[in-house]
Amino acid sequence: MPELPEVETVRRGLAPTMEGALLVRAELRRPDLRFPFPDNFSASVSGRRIVSLSRRAKYLMIDLEGGDVIIAHLGMSGSFRIEAGDDPAAPGKFHHPRGKDEKHDHVIFHLNGRSGPARVIYNDPRRFGFMDLARRDGIADHIFFRDLGQEPTGNALDAAYLARRFAGKAQPVKAALLDQRIVAGLGNIYVCEALWRSELSPSRPAGSLVDKRGHAKQGLVALTQAIREVIADAIAAGGSSLKDHIQADGSLGYFQHSFSVYDREGETCRKPGCGGTVARIVHAGRSTFYCPRCQK
């Protein structure tokens, strides 16, 4: 499943082509993805100018003139590519490869922008992604957004906030961090990375990071900082790769540095002086990677 930095990288890659462009026509090549498209979706968005692209959690949001918003989720295998003249590009090279077979091109946005005609194509082999249409002025109450927690990129995510949400919780801190009602957009990879950076075991009860007065213990302060830093590092890496590391096939790189702990089972811990071995356990069906020696 694409995580927040991947979606943000896609947004940054699409924005120069889509923002300000006229959405001449939305071509739907099937009636549904994970869910059916909204009634009259193509007719409702065609002929409208794209005002801006934004992101909330793992959702890409395409604002149109008139106050409507296209909400897009990449699911497990969704990706966008841009076709403009002889310069194709695919924003976001994911940790798990994306499909490129044209038989899985399910949505095509035909655009007329500052640089002329272009096509933005949504490809999704497993069809677990989806698109919806909503009003911007009611977005906070939309079913996808009304229960979301704080973004891991803003100042609102601090140790005091997590202390309030973790107090009394016996569930593992890994599970608590994956709860989108607590932190919006934080996924499995970066939870593993943040817990490793803050030297906390993924199995540790979330409530153990809060003292009897409801205040954050030092471990939770460190975890909060690690969350913000790992997401910022991933977004920054994606941003620089968009600008500086265009591959030979025209695709755009994503998060070029390797992970510190995720997907490194059996390897030596990268923390200086640790010497432990990365282990893999399963929480709620999700692989969790950590170092039993330095993460307590």
Helix ranges restricted to H, 122-217: 159-166, 173-178, 188-197
Torsion over CA of 133, 135, 138 and 141, rounded to 10 degrees? 0
Does the annotation count 286 as an active-site position? yes
Does 228 qualify as catalytic in the annotation?
no
Q: Which of 34, 217, 286, 293 is catalytic?
A: 286
Calpha distance 218→209 (Å, rounded): 8
Q: How far apart are the C-alpha atoms of 295 and 265, rounded to whole Å? A: 15
Q: Is 100 annotated as a binding residue?
A: no
Evaluate whether 55 touches 8 at the Cβ level (below 8 Å): yes
Q: Encoding tokens for residue 212?
A: 């009897």
**Residue 59, beta-bridge partner list:** 56
Whether residue 104 is annotated as binding a ligand: the answer is yes
- Known active-site residue 119: no
The strand ranges marked E within 114-200 are: 116-123, 130-135
For 108, the 3-state DSSP assignment is: strand
* 197 catalytic per annotation: no
Q: HSE-up of 286 (CA within 13 Å, CB side)?
A: 20
**Among residues 11, 12, 56, 58, which one is catalytic?**
58
Specify the residue for token string 């999704």: 124
Distance, CA of 276 to CA of 295 (rounded, Å): 10
Phi, psi of 148 (to 5 degrees): -75, 145
110: annotated binding-site residue? no
Say if residues 276 and 293 touch (Cβ distance below 8 Å).
yes
Take residue 140 and report the two structure tokens written for it.
Answer: 């906070």
How many other β-carbons are positioned within 10 Å of the β-carbon of residue 294? 16
Alpha-carbon span 271 to 253, nearest angstrom: 26
Residues forming the annotated binding site for DNA? Answer: 104, 126, 169
Which residues are known catalytic residues? 2-3, 58, 286
